[in-house]
């Protein structure tokens, strides 16, 4: 049961103010400083603190996750969006999304986005990891080398031993560590699983035993980071109250805004000092004897680097920041997955729609959850997911166009049916029962940017331009995914439920009409990578930001470990892949590499 009281003898809460005050020297020194207590930072700090002879400081911009019901009950996770647990970022207006600015969700809380997201736990296909290994020239990123790190932080919960769930996972690719991050299938016997699986067979979508087995193309059972009916995050597993109270060598600063990192001098580029704003608005510094690890996320990491004088020289000069090292790749190469939701009305009565619109129904399920952490609030309305590819003979491939995916076993798009209305761009009707298809372009070839706010470069939010759907490839994939979704819901399995689209299917007859529908319905802001991307150890200066050992090139004492380092878009939800690199970085640091 969630406790509404907090007792952290090792958490120091610092609430930053907007004003910048005077610089106050601080004598605090730690062996390691982790900037960002999110999906990667929580794991790295916890792993390093297993050695009681080293000291670790975590600086987290948001509050604690402990005692927060909205961060604990799986079903209510959308309540955390645009809340105090979210950085509340937005993109610049996107021409291919009807010139709408997009919401960009990033966790502003211990555990980062693993504390607010929809809990889908993917690791990326094996070919994605093999592509990273090939690009960096480092075989330790190959799938078979990464799999042990994936297992290391996983506490897989076996589904019921019944015929319905007999072939829903592969134990060979899972870890069963009870004290680590939970991984669970939704096995509640809800009506939607039968037509969801049968329709896939009817339209020729193959069944995949385990979505996380490295070969995800097809339909499979979705896996979620939940445990015992509650969210399981990087924070609940690695920076929980028990760990923090028992390790005197591990300290966490909450609600603390990191402004920049400082080198020893202009000629000695050892980054040993972190500057942050304290509760009184004073600028405070703290030092690391060994390393500073930045795990602030795909948006904040490049901003911290640029404020520290590490980034594209022209952009830094334009924002009156002294260039310490010209790194053109910082803030560039942003790749994200653009999504949309298409909705069908059904005659099923056991959808989750009334939970969202009828307080009495919600409270009935809430009472059950409060009693024993069971019932409908332990799930998120999803049970299966489909990864697909455009056909090999698709017209887009004519003229020598190169498939940007990591290979023939890598998906181009992702689909997952929901047991309710999920469109974020159209309000839910007051009555009726619905199912939705959530659609994402995966293997994008678009690259956007993250830059400083010219009106407030030192403390302002990042300027985010993902350039959604700005390539013909991304638009083609989105069209194909929408048309595949319609074929799927036209399958005989859905006839019993009278699945009827709430949108005009005439849009399917014209690419221009379909593009217009997508432009009005699409959204993003979920799975960004690449803004401090990794490259080969010997790549030209500034082409990449970090080497395969996650160290920032051209300086010392500084590593980056979060989704910003992935050189290519991850073809799946990024949380699981982030956990894997966090475990890998922890081992690298422990071994002195």
- Which of the residues are catalytic? 527, 573
Contact 344, 501 (CB under 8 A): yes
Element (H, E) at 34: strand 29-35
Residue 182 structure tokens: 């939970």
List the beta bridge partners of residue 100: 94
- Half-sphere exposure of residue 396: CA atoms within 13 angstroms, side-chain side: 18
List the beta bridge partners of residue 176: 155
User: CA triplet 341, 472, 504: central angle to 5 degrees?
Assistant: 35
Nearest CA among 445, 511, 515 for reference residue 473: 445
User: CA triplet 415, 418, 423: central angle to 5 degrees?
Assistant: 85
> Within 56-189, where are the H helices?
126-136, 143-152
Q: Considering Cα of 521, then 479, then 127, then 141, what sign does the dihedral take?
A: negative
Residue 97: C-alpha distances to residues 88, 224, 425, 475 (Å):
19, 29, 11, 11
DSSP letters, 326-342, are E-TTTT--BB---EEEE
Q: Considering Cα of 572, then 573, then 576, then 581, what sign does the dihedral take?
A: positive
Is 58 assigned a ligand-binding role in the annotation? no
Is 258 assigned a ligand-binding role in the annotation? yes
Q: Would you call 141 helix, strand, or coil by DSSP? A: helix
Provide the annotated binding site for FAD.
Answer: 109, 258
């Amino acid at each position: 049961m969630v406790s509404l009281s907090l007792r952290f003898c090792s958490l120091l809460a610092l609430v930053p103010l907007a004003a910048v005050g005077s610089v106050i020297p601080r004598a605090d020194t730690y062996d390691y400083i982790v900037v960002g207590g999110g999906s990667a930072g929580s794991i790295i700090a916890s792993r390093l603190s297993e050695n009681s002879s080293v000291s670790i400081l975590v600086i987290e911009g948001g509050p604690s996750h402990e005692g927060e019901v909205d961060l604990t009950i799986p079903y209510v996770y959308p309540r955390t969006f645009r809340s105090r647990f979210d950085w509340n970022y937005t993109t610049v207006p996107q021409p291919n999304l009807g010139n709408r600015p997009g919401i960009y969700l990033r966790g502003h809380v211990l555990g980062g986005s693993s504390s607010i997201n929809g809990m889908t736990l993917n690791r990326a296909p094996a070919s994605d990891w093999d592509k990273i290994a090939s690009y960096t020239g480092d075989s330790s990123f190959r799938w078979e080398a990464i799999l042990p790190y994936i297992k290391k932080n996983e506490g897989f919960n076996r589904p019921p031993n019944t015929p319905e769930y007999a072939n829903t996972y592969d134990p060979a690719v899972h870890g069963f560590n009870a004290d680590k991050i939970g991984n669970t299938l939704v096995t509640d016997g809800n009506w939607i699983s039968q037509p969801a699986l049968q329709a896939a067979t009817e339209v020729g979508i193959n069944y995949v035993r385990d979505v996380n087995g490295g070969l995800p193309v097809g339909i499979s059972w979705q896996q979620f980071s939940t445990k015992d009916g509650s969210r399981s995050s990087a924070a609940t597993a690695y920076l929980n109250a028990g760990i923090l109270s028992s390790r005197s060598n591990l300290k966490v600063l909450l609600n603390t805004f990191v402004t920049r990192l400082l080198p020893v001098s202009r000629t000695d580029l050892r980054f040993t000092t972190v500057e942050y704003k304290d509760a009184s608005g004073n600028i405070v510094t703290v030092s690391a004897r060994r390393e500073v690890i930045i795990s602030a996320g795909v948006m904040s990491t490049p901003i911290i680097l640029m404020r520290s004088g590490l980034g594209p020289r022209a952009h830094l000069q334009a924002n009156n920041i002294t260039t310490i090292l010209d790194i053109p790749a910082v803030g560039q190469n942003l790749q994200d997955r653009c999504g949309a939701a298409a909705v069908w009305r059904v005659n099923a009565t056991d959808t989750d729609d009334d939970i969202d619109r009828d307080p009495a129904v919600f409270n009935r399920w809430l009472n059950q959850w409060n009693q024993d952490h069971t019932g409908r609030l332990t799930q998120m309305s999803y049970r299966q997911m489909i990864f697909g590819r455009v056909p090999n003979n698709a017209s887009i491939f004519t003229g020598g166009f190169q498939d940007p995916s990591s290979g023939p076993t890598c998906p181009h798009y992702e689909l997952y049916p929901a047991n309710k209305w999920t469109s974020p761009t159209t309000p839910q009707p007051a009555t009726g029962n619905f199912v939705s298809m959530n659609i994402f372009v995966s293997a994008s070839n678009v690259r956007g940017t993250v830059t400083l706010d010219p009106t407030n470069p030192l403390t302002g939010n990042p300027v985010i331009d993902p350039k959604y759907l700005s390539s013909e490839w991304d638009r083609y994939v989105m069209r194909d995914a929408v048309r595949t979704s319609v074929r799927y819901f036209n399958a005989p399995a859905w006839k019993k439920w009278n699945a009827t689209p709430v949108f005009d299917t005439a849009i399917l007859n014209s690419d221009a009409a379909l593009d217009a529908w997508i432009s009005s319905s699409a959204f993003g802001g979920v799975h960004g990578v690449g803004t401090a991307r990794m490259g080969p150890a010997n790549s030209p200066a500034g082409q990449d930001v970090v080497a395969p050992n996650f160290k920032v090139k051209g300086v010392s004492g500084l590593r980056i470990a979060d989704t910003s380092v992935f050189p290519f878009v991850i073809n799946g939800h990024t949380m699981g892949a982030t956990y894997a690199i966090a475990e890998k970085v922890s081992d690298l640091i422990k071994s002195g590499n």
